[in-house]
């Protein structure tokens, strides 16, 4: 049975070429748009930035949008606009990319980790409630894998405690929650345009909001804290005069990137349809495998599927996640793990966070594997992933 011999044990891998877990889709129209931007008068903040912001704001149903040089910069700006300062506490999830919590540290505040719901892997409103203190200033909710967080409960906790909700929607551009689009639910919502996300600008991010005050603070923070608005200047204005009123950063996106983003927006619907279709193909393929738990979805949420994560059922397997991960990699399936709980990173350990803080997140972290999912995958790619998972899982299955 040479065919079934794992590549990890010297057998032939299910595919010859390595398949990454995520990848951008750039076509000739995108390339033309970037070339046109390069030939135009503006290569940094010009008219294309506003067009891209308008396109995203309209798509998510928000009044305002501000583009940034990365999603991380956008999160930093949101924390600034929310007025989060030293001694404030901000509640977030541990099962996320470090940036969701790092932005809290950037403004000198204290990240507080609330545990996750073991079914959705999203931050648990009950756990948020138990972490609220008089110092709590905001909640940063992450729409993990694309499935929106429990916004009704989160918004009601926020309202009762007069705190701000920042959505980290790096995974969920185009997702809906109870019929409403992600990006118009919380006080501010962050999107990322890193190449593995739904659309890309190389690096880039955006905040959407319906609040004019936040909008103006975000604009100021993006460009050194400088304002040129005559209404806001403290002195009689000369035509050349401007003021730096806050300690801002240079977090601007270029027009070159915005041209790419604007062109990508035209394909976003197709990208999302493909992700949803591929997630369904995976669900159907793994449905009857006892050793795999497929992603649970709340009926009120419609995910745009940034990530497809399987969870292994250790009781049905003769080995651990680590070996299954390595076996899949050997089959040339580009698996990944999202994420190492943030507070387990050495930096967070150094500043005082302890193992055991969020037991659900720590347990699930040991059992999850991210499979490749991106719109450009071919039918062949999908079949290879399914064949690889079936080969590896059946090899290690007990009974």
Which residues of this chain interact with ligand PLP, rule CB under 6 A?
70-72, 96-97, 99-100, 142, 168, 170-171, 192, 194, 205
**CA–CA distance, 277 with 270 (Å, rounded to integer):** 10
Residue nearest to ligand PLP (CB): 71
Question: Could you tell me the smallest distance in angstroms from the CB atom of residue 4 to ligand PLP?
Answer: 36
Distance, CA of 379 to CA of 181 (rounded, Å): 29
Nearest distance, CB of residue 197 and ligand PLP, angstroms: 6
- Residue 398 CA to residue 291 CA, distance in Å, equals 9
Nearer to ligand PLP, 7 or 199 (CB): 199
Quickly list DSSP for 240-284.
T--EE-S---B-PPPHHHHHHHHHHHTTHHHHHHHHHHHHHHHHH
Residue 191 or 286 having the CB closest to ligand PLP: 191
CB-wise, 197 or 391, nearer to ligand PLP? Answer: 197
The Cα–Cα gap between 213 and 225 comes to 14
Rounded Cα distance between 398 and 245, Å, is 65
Identity of the residue, 275 or 391, whose beta carbon is nearer to ligand PLP in the bound complex: 275
Which CB sits closer to ligand PLP, 194 or 222?
Answer: 194
Of 227 and 370, nearer to ligand PLP (C-beta) is: 370
Least Å distance, CB 168 to ligand PLP, is: 5
How far is the C-alpha of 135 from the C-alpha of 137, rounded, in Å? 6
User: Which are the contacts of 154, defined by CB distance < 8 A and separation ≥ 6?
Assistant: 123, 125, 128, 139, 141, 165, 186
In terms of residues, how long is the chain?
399
Residue whose C-alpha is closest to residue 367's, from 310, 329, 285 = 310
Strand partners, 311: 293, 368
Residues 6+ apart with CB under 8 A from 159: none
Task: Return the number of the residue (194 or 302) whose C-beta is nearest ligand PLP.
Answer: 194
Q: What is the closest distance, in whole angstroms, from the C-beta atom of residue 226 to ligand PLP in the complex?
A: 23
Cα(312)–Cα(397) distance, integer angstroms: 11
Closest distance of CB 28 from ligand PLP, Å: 25
If the CB atoms of residues 338 and 391 are measured against ligand PLP, the closer one turns out to be 338
Q: What is the closest distance, in whole angstroms, from the C-beta atom of residue 51 to ligand PLP in the complex? A: 20
> What pairs with residue 64 in β-bridges?
209
Q: Whole-number minimum distance, CB 365 to ligand PLP, in Å?
A: 15
Q: Which is nearer to ligand PLP, 172 or 227 (CB)?
A: 172
CB of 176 closer than 8 Å to CB of 143:
no
How many other CB atoms sit within 10 Å of the CB of residue 98?
16
Q: How far apart are the first and last CA of the chain?
A: 19
Minimal distance, residue 79 CB to ligand PLP, in Å: 13
Measured CA angle at 264 (ends 200, 282), to 5 deg = 75
Least distance from ligand PLP to the Cβ atom of residue 266, Å: 21
The sheet with strand 176-177 has its strands ordered as: 180-181, 176-177, 301-302
């Amino acid at each position: 049975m040479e065919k079934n011999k794992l590549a990890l044990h010297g057998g032939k891998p299910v595919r010859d070429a390595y398949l990454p877990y995520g990848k951008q889709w750039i076509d000739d129209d995108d390339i033309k748009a970037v070339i046109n931007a390069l030939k135009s008068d503006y290569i940094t903040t010009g008219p294309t930035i506003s067009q891209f912001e308008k396109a995203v704001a309209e798509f998510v149903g928000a009044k305002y949008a501000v583009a940034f040089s990365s999603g991380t910069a956008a999160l930093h700006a949101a924390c600034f606009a929310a007025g989060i300062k030293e001694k404030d506490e901000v509640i977030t999830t541990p099962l996320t990319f470090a940036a969701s919590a790092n932005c809290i540290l950037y403004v000198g505040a204290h990240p507080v980790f609330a545990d996750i719901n073991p079914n959705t892997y999203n931050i648990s409103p009950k756990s948020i409630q138990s972490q609220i203190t008089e110092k709590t200033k905001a909640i940063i909710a992450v729409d993990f894998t694309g499935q929106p967080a429990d916004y009704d409960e989160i918004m009601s906790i926020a309202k009762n405690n007069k705190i701000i909700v920042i959505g980290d929607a790096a995974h969920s551009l185009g997702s809906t929650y109870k019929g409403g689009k992600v990006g118009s639910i919380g006080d501010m919502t962050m999107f990322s345009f890193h190449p593995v996300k739904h659309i890309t600008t190389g690096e880039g991010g955006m905040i959407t909001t319906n609040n004019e005050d936040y909008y103006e603070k975000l604009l100021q923070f993006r460009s050194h804290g400088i304002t040129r608005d005559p209404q806001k200047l403290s002195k009689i204005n000369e035509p050349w005069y401007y003021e730096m009123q806050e300690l801002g950063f240079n977090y601007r996106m270029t027009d070159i990137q915005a041209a790419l983003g604007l062109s990508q927006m035209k394909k976003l619907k197709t990208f999302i349809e493909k992700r949803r279709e591929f997630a369904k193909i995976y669900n159907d393929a793994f449905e009857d495998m006892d050793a795999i738990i497929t992603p649970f979805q709340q009926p009120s949420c419609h995910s745009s599927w940034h990530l497809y994560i399987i969870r292994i059922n250790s009781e049905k397997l003769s080995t651990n996640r680590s070996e299954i991960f390595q076996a899949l990699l050997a089959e040339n399936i580009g698996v990944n793990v999202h994420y190492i709980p943030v507070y387990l990173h050495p930096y967070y350990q150094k500043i005082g966070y302890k193992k055991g803080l969020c037991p659900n997140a720590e347990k699930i972290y040991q059992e999850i594997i991210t499979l490749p999912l991106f719109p450009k995958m071919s039918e062949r790619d999908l079949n290879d992933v399914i064949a690889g998972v079936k080969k590896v899982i059946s090899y290690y299955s007990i009974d």
